[in-house]
Amino acid sequence: MFNRGMLEAFGNGRWKFLLPPATTIRGRRDELPAWLDAFGINFYSRLHLRFPGRKHTIGDFDYHDRSGHGLTDNGWEIAPHILGELIDEASLIQRPLVITENGLADATDRFRPDFLRMHFEEIRKAEAGDAARAASAGGQRVIFALVALVGVVITTIQALLVWRFRMQRRTGFSPSCVEFISILKPVCGLDDELEENLISFTRLRGIRYEVIISAEEWEDPALEVVRRVMRAHPFAPFRIVVDGGSRSGVVNRKVERLIAATREAKGDVFFISDSNVRVEPDDFARTLALFDDPRVGCVSNLFTGAGARSLGATIESLHLLSFVAPGAVLAASAKVPCVVGKSMALTRRVHDAIGGFEQFRRVLAEDQAIGVAVREAGYEVALSPVIASPFGRRPARTIERKSIFSISQISTAIATLICVPLPNSRRCSASTAPGKALPRRRPAAMQRATQSER
């Protein structure tokens, strides 16, 4: 009741004393710890409180030989282990400790030798514990320093790899082999600054293109934003496609949006671009220039986060910058397919050669599965140095979007992360397994149909 209050007072300048039956005394003196040079411990024995008491109604307050070392001449329990506990507790204030009082009443010295030996042993163990704790703390500091150093080295190497990749793979601005591009943009709900993201696709240069907005239902709130952009930019080549998709089983809903958009697409290249991606006017022309190499069948962009204003969004952006981008560069250097579906393109010829997007309706990591299929079909998968920027301010929307399209990828990511020691290893794994996607949600009156709106 009292001893701990004293420790707190001299440890942090605040105290709280409990006085039975229900009185509490609190105080604060911030300068109090600075006044203390050493802390003294007075210890003889311990008392046992029993309530309700056997002898007295109000309670029994007696000495008992609970430790088995006997009672002194005045009936006090010999309990040396309590001294060790007091030393450990008092050491928390990090001041020198002095045992100012200790002893026993033993006229015949019957207990004295063992009393001294056991109490000195408790002091020795307390000192050894302090030394072990100090050594442990020192070891922890060394470990933390090494981890920090390794982190700095790895981050530096990653940054240099990405920089070198971007410097070596500068591309032109006029893809010669691409005549018309179909940009497939699946939407589901409102992304952060969706309107600004869409507007960036009205200013593309160096290519002939169309943007097909693919939604599951006409009531999707994203479509109202799309219509607003189309009214403000009447010459933008935007089209809306709504398709309810499959009514049975479990499927990848994003892939179903791509299937619906492909049916209406006119281009000889399909460029998949998520609704949270924002681009610069020349980004697509520079990316598509990689198709000038006839061996290339699929191109994926590097990407980093942008527009983060919250802690969660900032953490996601750091993850993209420190793991995803370097992981993609490492995979490209090793000629391993590593495709990021936020911004990727493949030719219509390759799309047909791998069986179309229909082959990936029940695959969760469809982007990586497409990359592997392209490679198996005899084509190369290229990584463009052009940066695509997923734009997100709120972590909640990020979680919602990822849950809508591929919630079960979390378990796949954990398993692959354990097995493949590469940054962003889930996407860079050599194989992709089918899995389960979220069951769809739509009004009961929704009819299976494909509709286009200009």
CATH code of the domain covering residue 361: 3.90.550.10
Q: Does residue 148 lie within any of the structural domains? A: no
What gap in Å lies between CA 325 and CA 163, rounded to an integer?
A: 11
Q: Does residue 13 lie within any of the structural domains? A: no
Same-domain check for residues 286 and 410: yes
What is the count of structural domains for the chain?
Answer: 2
Same-domain check for residues 122 and 212: no
DSSP sequence for 316-339: HHHHIIIIIHHHHHHHHHTT----
Same-domain check for residues 303 and 418: yes
Same-domain check for residues 179 and 124: no
Same-domain check for residues 119 and 209: no
Same-domain check for residues 401 and 303: yes
> Of the candidates 99, 115, 131, which is a domain's last residue?
131
What gap in Å lies between CA 317 and CA 324, rounded to an integer?
A: 10
Q: Which of 153-162, 265-274, 374-383 is predicted least confidently?
A: 153-162
Strand 277-278 with 269-273, pairing: unpaired
Find the mean pLDDT for residues 133-148.
Answer: 79
Q: Does residue 53 lie within any of the structural domains? A: yes
Q: State the alpha helices, DSSP H only, in 19-111.
A: 80-90
Q: Which amino acid is at 362?
A: R
Res 378 pLDDT > 70 = yes
Stated as kind and residue range, the H or E segment containing 228 is: helix 221-232
What gap in Å lies between CA 233 and CA 384, rounded to an integer?
A: 29
> Of the candidates 77, 106, 131, which is a domain's last residue?
131
Determine what percent of the chain is predicted with pLDDT higher than 90.
Answer: 29
> Of the candidates 131, 158, 191, which is a domain's last residue?
131
Assess contact for 279 and 200: CB atoms under 8 A: yes
Q: Does residue 413 lie within any of the structural domains? A: yes
**What's residue 248's pLDDT?**
66
How many Cβ atoms sit within 10 Å of the Cβ of residue 28?
A: 10
Q: Does residue 164 lie within any of the structural domains? A: no
Find the mean pLDDT for residues 222-230.
Answer: 95
- What does the pLDDT look like over 46-72, one tens digit per residue? 888 777 767 766 677 778 888 889 999
Res 450 pLDDT > 50 = no
State the average pLDDT for the chain: 78
**What's residue 418's pLDDT?**
44
Same-domain check for residues 75 and 188: no
Q: Does residue 203 lie within any of the structural domains? A: yes
Q: Does residue 12 lie within any of the structural domains? A: no
Same-domain check for residues 345 and 262: yes
Q: How confident is the model at residue 219 (pLDDT cuts 50, 70, 90)?
A: very high
**What's residue 173's pLDDT?**
53
What gap in Å lies between CA 26 and CA 218, rounded to an integer?
A: 64
Q: Which residue has the higher pLDDT, 155 or 74?
A: 74
Q: Which residue has the higher pLDDT, 258 or 159?
A: 258
Same-domain check for residues 121 and 250: no
What gap in Å lies between CA 21 and CA 18, rounded to an integer?
A: 8
Place of tokens 């982190």: 151
From 202, 402, 367, select the one nearest 270 (Cα to Cα): 367
- What does the pLDDT look like over 350-369, one tens digit per residue? 999 999 999 998 888 898 89
Same-domain check for residues 61 and 181: no
Helix then strand count (H, E) for the chain reads 14, 15
Query: What backbone torsions phi and psi does residue 264 show, to the nearest 5 degrees?
Result: -100, -10
**What's residue 379's pLDDT?**
93
Same-domain check for residues 345 and 249: yes
* Region of 52 on the Ramachandran plot (φ > 0 left; ψ -120 to 50 alpha; else beta): beta
Q: Does residue 41 lie within any of the structural domains? A: yes
From 128, 122, 109, select the one nearest 67 (Cα to Cα): 122
The residue segments making up the domain with residue 182 are 175-453
Same-domain check for residues 43 and 125: yes
